[in-house]
Structure 1
Amino acid sequence: MDVQRESSMILKPIYEGNPPSTTASVPLSVFDKASYDTHIAVIYAFKSPTPPNSNLQTGLQKVLAVYREWAGRLGIDDKGRPAILLNDEGVRFVEASADCALDQAMPLKPSKDVLNFHPSLKGVEELLQVQLTRFACGSMVLGFSTNHIVADGHATSNFLVAWGRACRGLDIGPLPLLDRTIFTPRDPPCVEFEHQRIEFKSKKIINGHPYPSPNSDYSSDGVIVHKAHFTLEFLTKLKAKASAGRTRPYSTFESLVAHLWRAITKARGLNGFETTQVRISVNGRQRMNPRVPYEYFGNVVLWAFAGAKVKELLHEPVQYAAKRIHDAVSKVNDDYFKSFIDFASDEEKMKDLTNADEESVVLYPNVDVESWLRFPFYDLNFGGGAPYIFLPSYLPVQGMLILLPSFIGDGSIDAIVPLFDLKRALSPSKAYATLSTS
């Protein structure tokens, strides 16, 4: 498959009436500051017939007039604070073509090949990028990337749904809540948890050099990105096994993460006395009181950490791992989010701190879990119907799991699992059969 990029342009918002000022800015919220300063790319595939590129371009420009942040740039506001500058400098829009039918390029999976379907993620000034790749059969692949500092997955998926509606001539919705000042500290502040160790770290110098940025060059040699499919039947049995003896069963998510954590730990061949940890992203919208509106545009994510000795994780039944995960996630509640806001709102203290995000592509012996199970990615419709394939781009971060609903639409789940090249495959049937006896 040969993908040729035919044009690349900058698109700016199209406003009805007089355009707004391009000197305004939006200061980053405390949650934005804890997020990743990197582009996250996803891939959609749409079967023929699909609307022309001009429709998607115009729809994008219209929705950018509502979601202005994407057309801006990261910078510093007039008060010296990190901010999104609403300067309407625009987003990257690339048109491309492939020399075959989409069926000939199947199956699409997270490999280096899918990097051809979106612009480069390195050194990107634009906060949003789009690439439309047309196939000989009339099918289309959309490559879409955004800077995570601007918005989390929930907010980004709302934007995508709104873009689809604009392309179909419908009212733009959901309309975003753009006020990032809603997260205010309590009076007096009450910091109850160790946020400097969890969400932030000191801007210290190591061997005369500062910590590398998350965008530092790295080698992904030896990392293979597996795609494991978990059927609804398998998930039902796994949930029942993990919840045996409990009045209130563990969720499907908790059960599957417990299973994957154990399977990956076993496949890695870790020493029994080592400690392994799983980090789980937690959406705060429904955990805070009062709840953060569904339409809020920005980041509202913190992390839960569950740890265990390898020996205990593998020798205890799956309920052991599920309980540790459940307990860890339960602790990231309203109290924790409010404590974080109080801590991160102290601007004087934050001057010496920076994001505690991982800089390495090797999380060994730990695991990082991103759940995309509740995002309405399959609600994206430009006028030719919903996508029939959705997947993240190639992201060879060893140990970083992404869970997403299968395109089959029957409740099954796909797990994207980047690991070092292993002798045995991480298939759901083999892993379950192996671990069911441990």
Structure 2
Amino acid sequence: MKIKKESSRIVKPIYGGDPPLTTLHIPLTVFDKVTYNTHIAIIYAYRPPTPPNVAVEQGLRKVLSEYREWAGRLGTDEKGHPIILLNDNGIKFVETSVDCTLDQAMPFNFKPSPALLNFHPSLKGVEELVQIQLTRFTCGSLVIGFTANHLVADGHSTSNFLVAWSQVCRGIDMNPRPLHNRAIFSPRELPIVEFEHEGLEFTSKKINKVFPLFEPSQVLDIVVHRAHFNLEFLAILRTRASLSHGSNKLYSTFESLTAHLWRTVTRARGLDGFEKTQVRISVNGRARLSPWVPNEYFGNLVLWAFPSAKVEDLLHEPLPFAAKLIHDAIAKVNDKYFKSFIDFASYKVDEEGLVPTADTNKLALYPNLEVDSWLRFPFYDLDLGGGSPYIFMPSYFPTEGMMFLLPSFVRDGSIDAFIPLFQHNLVAFKQICYCLD
């Protein structure tokens, strides 16, 4: 497959009336500063008919007038604090074409592979906060590669932006409008740090640079496996996870599947029984804070739960043991925890020179895992005028142990899990992935 670049340019917002000042800026919140400092890339695939590139671009220019943060740049204020410059410098917009059909270029429903990197601009050294690449195929299909800087917005906010983009492209008013006020997370006058945050969300710079050591061949030998879990399997899994010592504690599908994957990956890795393993799980704070924050809030509002266990306990205890650990850890990330974090991050981080533990420089999370759930994001609603995408997925992201859960492209409620593993662990994982003990 050879991709031909047709054009590359900067696309800026277009306003219906007088444009706003381009000298304004907004500060990053404690939730922006604690998240991953990198671009996250996602891939959409559309069957014909698809809208022309000019219509897609025009809709983008209009929606950027409401989501000005994406058209801005990262910078610092006079005190050295990180900010978003609302300078309307624009986003990168790339048009490409391929001299074959989509099925010829990407058979097997977009199997996770380095080939996906061809469908979006590079994630390294990016000044723009959003990049979009349109790739046209001879069959009339369209692939859209979208990358966005995570410091600006979390997955919930990004999906809202994408839905707004699709609405504008179809001539529909943006609904709902984003809430841009990032000043709502002020610390309390008398800080109350009720929980331990150092070592979880933040750590010292010295500790943060200590990574597990692997042979170079191991690091290069990471493959991303897509595991499909149908509705029947998920129902059985949830039932088994929820049966514990005679009590019927009903765990969610997400909790049950995450518990299963935690145990399965741990067993496939062949970890020593006395080792400790943990899972990093994103928790959306919008409905957990009191007063609650509207879903329209644009920015980052995520912390993490960190359930952990000794390997021998995780593998020898039944599935409900892991499900309970996950459920209880998520439940603890409540209003008190979020407010404790705001107080801690506002006063302690700069003072003690702490850095986020959310680090994309790690090539392997072994013996730990991270599970990012995109199950509730309306990514499939990105209808730009020719219908919904038939495939949506993350780009190729080979960090061992960092898993993504997505609604399957089958669109029947089933789930696809994208699981990066060392090649020598993949055989064992496939053998036990659908085993229910």
Please, what TM-score do these two structures have when normalized by structure 1?
Answer: 0.94
- Aligned amino acid, residue 335 of structure 2: D
Aligned to 2:157: 155
Matching residue of 2:177: 175
Alpha-carbon spacing, 1:158–1:212, altered in 2? closer, same or farther (3 Å): farther
1:139-150 equivalences in 2 (<5 Å): 139-150=141-152
Q: Is the 8 A contact 2:306 2:329 kept in 1?
A: yes
Distance of aligned partners of 1:351 and 1:275 in 2 relative to their CA distance in 1, 3 Å threshold: closer
User: In the aligned structure 1, how far is the partner of 2:253 from the partner of 2:233?
Assistant: 11
Q: CA deviation at 1:246?
A: 3.3
Residues 212 and 142 (structure 1), Cα distance of their counterparts in 2 relative to 1, 3 Å cut: farther
User: Shift in Å at residue 431 of structure 1?
Assistant: 2.4
Give the partner amino acid of 1:263: T
Q: Distance in 1 between matches of 2:20 and 2:103?
A: 45
> Is it true that 1:234 corresponds to 2:214 in the alignment?
no
Partner of 1:224: 223
Question: What is aligned with 2:42?
Answer: 42
The residue that corresponds to 2:132 in the other structure is 130
CA spacing shift, 1:412–1:144, aligned 2, 3 Å: same
Q: Deviations over 1:101-132 (max 9, x none)?
A: 11222221221000000000000000000000
SS of 1:195's partner is coil
Change (3 A) 1:351 1:56: farther
Q: How does 1:360-399 map to 2 (within 5 A)?
A: 360-399=362-401
Aligned residue runs from structure 1 range 36-435, under 5 A: 36-104=36-104, 105-106=106-107, 107-204=109-206, 211=209, 220-244=219-243, 245-346=246-347, 349-350=350-351, 352-358=353-359, 359-421=361-423, 422=425, 424=427, 426-427=429-430, 430-433=432-435, 435=436
Task: Give the direction of change, closer, same or farther, for the CA distance of 1:307–1:347 in structure 2 (3 Å limit).
Answer: closer
- Structure 1's unaligned 5+ residue stretches are none
CA 1:196–1:17: 2 relative to 1, 3 Å: same
Deviation, 1:247, is: 3.1
Q: Which amino acid counterpart does residue 415 of structure 2 have in structure 1?
A: I
The 1:351/1:80 distance shift into structure 2, 3 A limit, reads: farther
Residue type at the aligned position of 1:74? L
Moved more, 169-178 or 262-271: 169-178
Q: 1:354 to 1:231 in 2, by over 3 A?
A: same
Deviation per CA, 1:8-64: give whole Å up to 9, x if none. Answer: 100110011111111100100110010111000000001100000000101001000
Distance 2:210 2:169 in 1: 41
For these two proteins, the number of residue pairs brought into alignment is 426
* SS in structure 1 at match of 2:307: strand
Q: Could you say what the CA RMSD is over the residues aligned between the two structures, in angstroms?
A: 1.8
Contact 1:45 1:388 in 2 (8 A): yes
The 8 Å contact of residues 344 and 350 in structure 1, kept in 2 or not, is answered as no
Q: 1:300 to 1:412 in 2, by over 3 A?
A: same
* Superposed displacement of residue 351, structure 1: 6.1
Aligned residue type for 1:228: A
> Is the 1:162–1:173 contact (alpha carbons within 8 Å) kept by the matching residues of 2?
yes
C-alpha displacement of 1:430: 4.0
The one-letter code matched in structure 2 to 1:270 is L
- Go from structure 1 to structure 2 and tell me whether the alpha carbon gap of 1:186 and 1:93 turns closer, same or farther (over 3 Å shift): same
1:347 deviates by 6.8
1:182-203 CA-partner distances (Å, limit 9, x unpaired): 1111231101111122111224
Give the SS at the match of 2:226: strand
**Alignment-mate amino acid for residue 249 of structure 1:** L
**Deviations, residues 153-182 of structure 1 (Å, cap 9, x unaligned):** 000000000001111111123211000001
**TM-score between both structures, scaled by the size of structure 2:** 0.94
